[in-house]
Amino acid sequence: MENLALIESFSEFKDEKLIDRVTLMVILEEVFRNTLKRKFGSDENFDIIINPDKGDLEIWRNRIVVKDGEVEDPNQEMQLTEAQKIEPDFEVGEDVSEEVKLVDLGRRSIQTLRQNLVSKIFEHDSTNTFNQFKDRTGELFTAEVHHIRNREVILLDDDGNELILPKDRQIPNDFFRKGDNVRGVIDIVELRGNKPRIILSRTSPVFLEKLFEQEIPEVFDGLITIKKAVRIPGEKAKVAVDSYDDRIDPVGACVGMKGSRIHGIVRELGNENIDVINYTNNIQLFITRALSPAKINSLKIDEDTKRVQVFLNPDEVSKAIGRGGHNIRLAGKLTGYEIDVYREGVEEDVELTEFTDEIDGWVIEEFKKVGLDTAKSILELDTADLIKRTDLEEETVTEVIRILKAEFEE
């Protein structure tokens, strides 16, 4: 392989990978020096001159002239008669420089050299990509669908970088076609071997926060602060917002007239229901707002256990719990408290714990997790709704209903 052909192939890498001239020269010299070490045992007495722009490459080996028959290290020394073939007036003790042609390295060394070069440039490119995206973790990002697999979608950005959108980071009703532009946040950036792995997420609460920043000018400008956002992707979300300017209504500014401002965010999230609430340091008021649209009569907070007992009228309980328990679960995440719901003004009701002789404790706990802690709170719901809220088997729910009905029929 001629020097020029090899250097031209290097220039292809330079153009394709957008490596600057100085960096390419450093990589080239490192690869060539490693090859010389393997071939000659040392590279200390070699000068390497590379000009990638012009396609020039020169390797010079520097040795000391010694008397004939006294060469101990062929890489460091050259006998007098050989030196005088280069320049007749060379004498013992002088330095002699001789150009080394690539073909002199041997076909195998050249093949190894090229493989190492490809590896080094790929490693450099991967490291640059990793560093570039590592600094952008949490940013909103748009890329195009390149390939769709069962467990992930492969995306490409404008620079040809590959990003991955795993199934568990897609909103449940997401549907993509090749060529679609997809938005998400850069969630994880890691190196797998020498290859960067960039994970995009559409389920992260950060994605919701970044959409607020993009769609609502007051949030982007810092006039409105998002204190916390929690989500059940594709179902429901709650966002606590605050403003240090008393003239700004943070909830009104985020929602807009008839929901005009938040509509685009809801559509991006697959019609996810978004509750925007005013943040407050008053924890009682904050919990009350977090359980909206339910109206709370009173509540009792235990700071030691981070639990709160919430008392409501019977007709408000289902609102507080929400479909599938989403409302009470998100309110707990938003406030940082475990919320227990209790009914007020219910006559002849019985606590579920009174049925431990007939109903397994773990089944009772499953009902209590979604705020169903009395007999009538369960009996006022139909079987299908109970199954959906608790994820219990139909047979179990049916048996619980039978036991509870029997209590009131006696």
As a whole number of angstroms, the distance between CA 118 and CA 108 comes to 16
**Residues 296-302: what's their mean pLDDT?**
92
Do 240 and 156 fall into the same domain? no
Q: Which of 248, 264, 279 is the C-terminal boundary of a domain?
A: 279
Q: Which of 162, 185, 201 is the last residue of a domain?
A: 201
Specify the amino acid at residue 151: R
Q: Are residues 215 and 168 in the same domain?
A: no
- Domain boundary residue among 254, 279, 304? 279
145 and 121 within one domain: no
Contacts of 83 (CB under 8 A, 6+ apart): 65, 90, 94, 96
112 shares a domain with 20: yes
Domain membership of residue 159 as a residue range? 136-201
Tokens of 176: 């993509």
Residue with the larger pLDDT of the pair 123 and 326: 326
C-alpha–C-alpha distance, residues 384 and 113, integer Å: 69
Predicted pLDDT at 1: 41
Strand-strand pairing, 152-156 and 140-148: antiparallel
pLDDT at 119: 66
H or E element at residue 165: strand 162-166
Give the model confidence (pLDDT) of 239-283 as tens digits. 999 998 889 999 999 998 888 899 999 999 999 999 999 999 999
Q: Are 64 and 97 in contact (CB under 8 A)?
A: no
Integer Cα distance of 15 and 9 in angstroms: 10
370 falls within a domain: no
- CB atoms under 10 Å from CB of 271, counted, come to 12
70 and 171 in a single domain? The answer is no
Number of domains in the chain: 3
Residue 170 lies in a domain: yes
- Cα dihedral sign for 100, 101, 106, 109? positive
pLDDT tens digits, one per residue of 51-90:
655 656 788 889 998 888 888 888 888 888 888 888 888 8
Residues 9 and 65 in one domain: yes
